[in-house]
Each structure stands twice: as structure tokens, then as C-alpha cells.
């Protein structure tokens, strides 16, 4: 395991590269240990840096929710990262691409939780977490890969780098979230009026609440938990899209336009 000093130093180097919009480079070969646990230890140190600067965790993300992406990255399960308050945007926002190096957009369901999902009420399942759901909303996750080489990804880096989260754009879901078909509902991404990707709501781990349950159990194992008022980005149902300036993206679920934003 990495010691505290090396975890903190690696997190500082990542934050420096992120802020300077430097091209992606692997830290895995420069640390004394690069296991998955080490990656999460560096991620925790990164979180502590941002919290020390006055930010707070508003939500969490689940990454690698498809078998294809898990096999591609050499793991058999999803990965997790945090979403901070300063990176949460409301629907119909404008995203300034000049503030990013290589921004990707993923179409997801954000699940808002209204009670703590702590270890003493686990292990968590789709059924058990449903009682803690306040609402479900369509959402875009913004990811920053900094021109990473996808043919040579290291899981340590992906985890240590907070699963590449660069923010979220949250839409407004139905008043009664249970009216949404969270398993077979159609999802579509249109860019400038043209269809560029489609899928279904259950493409991520079979059901968004399965992603919530996985994350709840995962965080419990790391000594923390999903807190009341936080949300979970449950994985993309449409292939990642890398926008250009002036693009207008529209995400629809079951034929209803629920979320849109523009790039500048």
C-alpha cells in the first residue's frame, strides 16, 4: 500500500495537471504500488484536497457499468468517483469547452437519495435502496479524459483521477419517479437535431438502482456512505460523445425531451 505522503503527493500532482489542462499521463509507473486499493487511497486524498479548499461532495458516479468497458479496462466490476458541488450545473446551461482539454458527455439517470445508506442497514440491494430514492432525473455527466490513450489505460489511474468526472448537468425528472421505466425505457442523444446515439435506461448494470446499491456497498467498504441529499450518476446508456463548440445536445427518455445544454 502507498503511504500517506505518497498518496497525498500523487493527488497533488494530478490536481496540478488537471488545473493546467495538461495531456493525460499515467502515474501508475511512478508510484511504489498501483493496486486498485491504492487508486482509491489516492482518490480519497484528492477528495481531501478539494474539501480543504471549501468544496463538498454533492454526489457520486458509477463508471464502467458495461461488461465491454470492464473487460476493456481489465476489471470485473464498476468503479466509483465523487461529484463536487462546484461542478453541478442545472439544465439548459452552457458549457465552455475552452475550460476543458477533451470533454466527453454521457447520458445517464441521476438518482437522488433522501436518507443515509450506511453500513448498519446493508448490504444494499435494488429493492432496499428504492425506499431511499427521492427522485430520478435525466442527467449529462461531463468527463475529462485529457486526451488519454484508451488502448493503454491503467485502472489505477482511472480510479486515482476520480473516474474522470468533470461535472454534471442535472435535468428535471417526473414528479413521481416510479412512472419512469428504469429498465427498458428508450434513451436518445441528439446533437443539433440529429440522432447520434441511443440505448435504454437499463443499459447501465441492468437498472439504475442496481448501480446505487453497488455504490452504497462499495462506499461502506471504504468506510463512508451515500448521504441524504446526495445523488448517484448511475452510468451511461449512450456512447460517449465529444462535443464541438456551438453543439446543442438533447437527451430524451421514453420520447420526452427532458434535458438540453449548449457548448460554447
Q: pLDDT at residue 168 above 90?
A: yes
Q: What are phi and psi of 106, to 5 degrees?
A: -125, 145
Provide the domain limits for residue 62.
4-263
Residue 215 pLDDT: 97
User: In the prediction, which pLDDT does 163 show?
Assistant: 96
| pLDDT-derived band at 70, boundaries 50, 70, 90 | confident
Say whether pLDDT at 258 is over 80: no
Q: What is the CATH number of the domain that holds 224?
A: 3.90.850.10
Percentage, residues of the chain above pLDDT 70: 97
> How confident is the prediction for the chain on average, in pLDDT?
92
pLDDT surpassing 90 at residue 4:
yes
Number of folded domains that form the chain: 1
Q: In the prediction, which pLDDT does 97 show?
A: 95
What is the SS3 assignment for 259?
Answer: strand
Q: pTM of the full predicted structure?
A: 0.95
Cis bond before residue 123 (omega within 30° of 0): yes
Closest CA to 226 of 139, 121, 127, 101: 121
Which among 136, 177, 84, 141 has a CA at the least distance from the CA of 261? 141
Which tens digits make up the pLDDT trace of 46-57? 999 999 999 999
Q: pLDDT tens across 178-229, in order?
A: 888 999 999 999 999 999 999 999 998 999 999 999 999 999 999 999 999 9
Distance CA 251, CA 82 (A): 23
Amino acid at each position: 500500500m502507498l503511504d500517506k505522503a505518497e498518496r497525498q503527493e500523487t493527488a497533488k500532482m494530478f490536481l496540478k495537471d488537471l488545473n493546467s489542462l495538461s495531456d493525460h499521463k499515467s502515474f501508475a509507473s511512478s508510484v511504489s504500488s498501483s493496486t486498485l486499493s491504492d487508486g482509491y487511497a489516492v482518490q480519497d486524498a484528492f477528495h481531501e484536497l478539494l474539501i480543504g479548499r471549501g468544496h463538498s461532495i454533492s454526489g457520486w458516479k458509477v463508471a464502467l457499468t458495461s461488461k465491454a468497458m470492464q473487460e476493456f479496462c481489465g476489471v470485473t466490476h464498476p468503479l466509483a468517483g465523487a461529484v463536487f458541488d462546484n461542478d453541478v450545473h442545472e439544465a439548459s446551461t452552457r458549457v465552455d469547452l475552452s475550460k476543458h482539454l477533451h470533454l466527453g458527455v454521457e447520458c445517464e439517470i441521476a438518482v437522488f437519495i433522501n436518507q443515509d445508506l450506511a453500513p448498519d442497514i446493508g448490504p444494499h440491494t435494488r429493492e432496499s435502496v428504492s425506499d431511499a430514492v427521492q427522485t430520478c432525473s435525466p442527467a449529462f455527466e461531463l468527463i475529462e479524459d485529457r486526451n488519454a490513450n484508451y488502448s493503454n489505460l491503467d485502472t489505477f489511474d482511472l480510479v486515482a483521477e476520480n473516474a474522470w468526472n468533470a461535472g454534471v448537468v442535472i435535468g428535471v425528472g417526473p414528479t413521481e419517479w416510479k412512472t419512469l421505466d428504469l429498465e427498458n425505457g428508450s434513451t436518445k442523444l441528439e446533437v443539433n437535431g440529429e440522432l447520434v446515439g441511443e440505448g435504454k435506461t437499463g443499459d447501465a448494470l441492468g437498472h439504475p438502482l442496481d448501480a446505487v446499491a453497488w455504490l452504497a456497498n462499495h462506499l461502506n467498504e471504504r468506510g463512508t456512505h451515500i448521504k441524504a441529499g446526495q445523488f448517484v450518476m448511475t452510468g451511461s446508456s449512450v456512447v460517449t460523445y465529444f462535443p464541438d463548440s456551438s453543439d446543442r445536445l438533447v437527451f430524451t427518455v421514453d420520447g420526452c425531451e427532458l434535458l438540453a445544454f449548449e457548448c460554447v
